[in-house]
Amino acid sequence: MFKPECIENREVHKGRILTFYKKTMKFENGDTAEWDFIHHNGAAAVVAVDEDGKLFMVKQYRPGCDRFTLEIPAGCLNPGEDRKTAAVRELEEETGYRCAKAELLNKYYPASAYDDEYIEIYLATGLTKTAQNLDPDEDVEVIKMDVEELVSKILSCEISDGKTIAGVLTYYTRIKR
């Protein structure tokens, strides 16, 4: 297959975590097309499991779907921060728990057709209570749930967040093996 060539990359808007571009792409036959593209500064997420096997979830309002969602803890990378560090930090900030161990569980591109966001999802265990440290624009409710209940909510389309689906189903598959 021929990989299209980017012959022009124009920045349209730069935000705090996203930069929007118009890319002019050239194809094998010489034709060109303009593509919309979003650069994302990076993110990490965490499936946190307590000693009773319960998963820590956060309920919060999401403007993209204009509703409250149930998700695994996650967030953007700070400048120079690696994804594992970000996942551990986000866990403590959002839930008020620190983990003794974090291991890579899954990784994926949520919208590879137009966005370079890349998320690594970590499995966090050995949890100890600390304190929540939410960002000024965050309002989350922490809920602990059984993995089977979460899988049921995914299969019934009650949970539709991509990173949560990827993280919970990967964890569930791993423990069932």
Question: Which tens digit of pLDDT belongs to each residue from 33-63?
Answer: 999 999 999 999 999 999 999 999 999 999 9
For domain 41-176, the CATH superfamily is Nucleoside Triphosphate Pyrophosphohydrolase (3.90.79.10)
User: In whole numbers, what is the pLDDT of the chain averaged over residues?
Assistant: 95
Answer for the pair 97, 129: CB distance below 8 angstroms, yes or no. yes
Question: Please, how many CA atoms are within 13 Å of residue 79, restricted to the half-sphere of its CB?
Answer: 1
Alpha carbon separation from 54 to 3, 5, 29, 34, 47 (Å, rounded): 45, 47, 54, 47, 10
> What is the pTM for the complete model shown?
0.92
Q: What is the share, in percent, of the chain residues with pLDDT greater than 70?
A: 100
> Which pLDDT value is given to residue 138?
78
Structure tokens at 15: 């935000």
